[in-house]
């Protein structure tokens, strides 16, 4: 799929944008799992910036991946200048697939970013003031690669896997599963709610609340004086945690995954 080939798109903020004037739902038919190969990142903006508060985009039951012509370092979704983005029962291809190259260990494809959303929402300063929204990003029952999102959004993760390509015992280094888009190493991702998630790679957010999470690597929270995490697993290494209840760490229990 190529947004530039769709009537009504606009070339803005470094790429073609789908303009919305009402809620849009892109949903798989019952029993189907359509694979959508993108030639360029998805970008969404309102036709009328002042009316963006009524706009929701819902992607449901889709497998989003990259065509061979897709830019190497680009995310699958690069702009969400609307009130709410819902990703439900989807896979946002995180990359890292094993290639059969004739060697015993094989090689892996590069890891890829699923979301990269910046603070200015892709608008000029004047239009940014008119926009005046805090976009909600919601993932439910989905698999995704890195989510790099600036603090001017809110993030909700439920029954999902966020995979930055680092496994149990790996040094995550600068592999961020969730963090800031502009400066993932030094800044922080958005306020976040979680329920039943598994995170491979580092996670850095402004604040967090939720339950039933597994953080294979460090969870770092800027404002750890508010929020609470319940019944979860933390790596026990390089964590900066809020109040928590009924949780265990990697120093108390070894983490293993089986399939």
**Residues β-bridged to residue 50:** none
Whose CA is closest to 142, among 210, 195, 201?
195
Is pLDDT above 70 for 16?
yes
pLDDT averaged over every residue in the chain? 93
Question: Could you tell me the pLDDT band of residue 47, with boundaries at 50, 70 and 90?
Answer: very high
Per-residue pLDDT tens over the stretch 185-241: 999 999 999 999 999 999 999 999 999 999 999 999 999 999 999 999 999 999 999
| pLDDT score for 258 | 63
SS3 131: helix
Q: Which residues are registered as beta bridge partners of 143?
A: 91, 161
- 3-class DSSP state of 3: helix
Q: Could you tell me if 55 and 20 are in contact, meaning their C-beta atoms sit under 8 angstroms apart?
A: yes
**Secondary structure of residue 258 in the 3-state scheme:** coil
Task: Determine the pLDDT at residue 1.
Answer: 86
- Measured between its terminal Cα atoms, the distance across the chain in Å is 33
What are the structural domain ranges in the chain?
A: 3-249
């Amino acid at each position: 799929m190529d947004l530039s080939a769709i009537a009504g798109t606009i070339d803005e903020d470094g790429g073609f944008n789908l303009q919305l004037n009402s809620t849009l739902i892109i949903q798989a038919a019952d029993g189907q799992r359509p694979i959508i190969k993108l030639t360029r990142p998805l970008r969404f903006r309102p036709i009328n910036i002042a009316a963006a508060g009524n706009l929701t985009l819902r992607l449901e039951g889709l497998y989003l991946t990259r065509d061979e012509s897709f830019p190497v370092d680009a995310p699958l979704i690069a702009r969400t200048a609307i009130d709410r983005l819902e990703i439900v029962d989807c896979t946002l291809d995180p990359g890292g697939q094993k290639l059969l190259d004739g060697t015993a260990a094989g090689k892996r494809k590069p890891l890829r970013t699923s979301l990269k959303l910046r603070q200015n929402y892709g608008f000029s300063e004047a239009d940014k003031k008119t926009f005046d929204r805090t976009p909600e990003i919601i993932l439910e029952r989905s698999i995704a690669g890195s989510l790099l999102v600036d603090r001017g959004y809110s993030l909700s993760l439920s029954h999902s896997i966020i995979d930055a390509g680092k496994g149990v015992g790996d040094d995550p280094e600068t592999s961020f599963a969730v963090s800031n888009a502009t400066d993932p190493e030094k800044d922080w991702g958005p306020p976040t709610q979680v329920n039943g998630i598994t995170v491979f790679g580092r996670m850095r957010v402004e604040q967090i609340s939720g339950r039933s999470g597994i953080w294979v690597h460090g969870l770092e929270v800027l404002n750890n004086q508010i929020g609470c995490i319940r019944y979860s697993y933390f790596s026990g290494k390089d964590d900066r945690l809020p109040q928590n209840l009924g949780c265990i760490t990697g120093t108390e229990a070894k983490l293993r995954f089986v399939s």
